[in-house]
Amino acid sequence: MYKITPALGWNTWNTFTNKINEDLVLRSADAMANSPLRKAGYEYIVIDDCWSLHERDKNGRLVADPEKFPHGMKYVGDYIHSLGLKFGIYSCAGALTCAKYPGSYEHEFTDAETFASWGVDYLKYDFCFHSNIVPPHLLYKRMGIALANCGRDILYSACSWGAAETAKWIRETGAHSWRSTQDIQDCWSSVKDLITSQLHSLEYNGQGCFNDMDMLICGMNGKGDVSRGGCTQAEYHTHFAFWCFFGSTLMLGSDIRAMDEETLKLVTNPLLLRLNQDKKYSQPFMIGRRSDAYPLMAKFLDDGKIAIGFFNLTDGETSAWHSTFLTDEIGLPESTGKKLKLTDTADGTVLYSKNGCFSVPNTAAHASRVYIAEVIDA
């Protein structure tokens, strides 16, 4: 399997953690299949930690908890596939998972074969309780080779949180995506910290092994097991816009069975998703005045257009900010006789560069502006 764009889907963890069961998963699959989410490209239903019994069976195989999943995992996978969706599951490179269920350490081939027999399409592979003797890159290579030989295409989502210099070796393992951050929490400070952490590792973003900034908190609104007070709608917009701009995997974490219209509109925004699913998948780069507090970035797209993103990470009611850059910084000096026509991805407002420059309008604290810019004659 070679993925040319990041995966889109839903994961149980952010809202439900260990409070998962068959009915929740199947009804969430129904919700995705019968909503604009499916048309927008969301397709994976991923069961995170806490799905198995605490011990393997006599043959050394993982067993789904029969109280939570009475019909077993193949039944769940078959139902999800019947809706035209894809089935994801969770394991860990350690002896135990993060919630202390059996991990896949030294059971990699057995588990990969088990997952394949259940019809699994996506494996999130965590990093808790791992060996301190075996180097991390070998732990992830073990599962990479096991998945490659299990007889089924399974997207390999490595989740080592960027630890042990993951960025330098993860592409060796066969992973299709890699977690570059610590776990997200449903609050602005967490979103800000994760964004800031990525500004100095832009060069590690690449096609075929996508950067994953962790699951989305859009629409959680202070509910769920990672809630730390929630975010404002502007903060959720900045969160989703940056994940799209950066080309992160997009895994919804709210209860999609009860997603409100404002959240649904945000996470199905066609212009933002167009950036995330761009087939060229060029790396973003910094332009204008360099600052972690209000990064201004650009990214080349597959149709010759250019994404421009401004993110105001400063705090306080008086922290509205604007930024200006020379179009020469994206390879378009005034001498070319060209300028930019910029369409705001939020509301469709159209602006133009002038005299070889573009000034982003004042942007409130915690807010953002993302544009798709077309090169036109001056």
Q: Which residues are catalytic?
A: 126, 183
Distance from the Cα of residue 213 to its chain's centroid: 5
Closest by Cα among 115, 55, 118 to 90: 115
Q: Please list the helix, strand and coil fractions of the chain in percent, rounded to the nearest 5, in that order.
A: 30, 25, 45
| Burial (CB count <10 Å: 0-12, 13-18, 19+), residue 2 | exposed
The CB density around residue 292, as the number of other CB atoms within 10 Å, is: 13
CA distance 190 to 366: 12
340 Cβ contact partners less than 8 Å away, ≥ 6 residues apart:
306, 308, 327, 332, 352, 353, 358, 373, 374, 375, 376
Distance from the Cα of residue 282 to its chain's centroid: 17
CA distance 181 to 183: 6
Closest by Cα among 71, 74, 76 to 28: 76
DSSP three-state, residue 156: strand
Distance from the Cα of residue 71 to its chain's centroid: 30
Instruction: Check: CB of residue 28 under 8 Å from CB of residue 22.
Output: no
Q: What crossing angle do the helices spanning 108-117 and 136-148 adopt, rounded to 10°? A: 40
Place of tokens 């592979």: 125
Helices of type H across the chain: 13-16, 22-33, 36-40, 73-82, 108-117, 136-148, 166-169, 188-198, 233-246, 261-267, 270-276
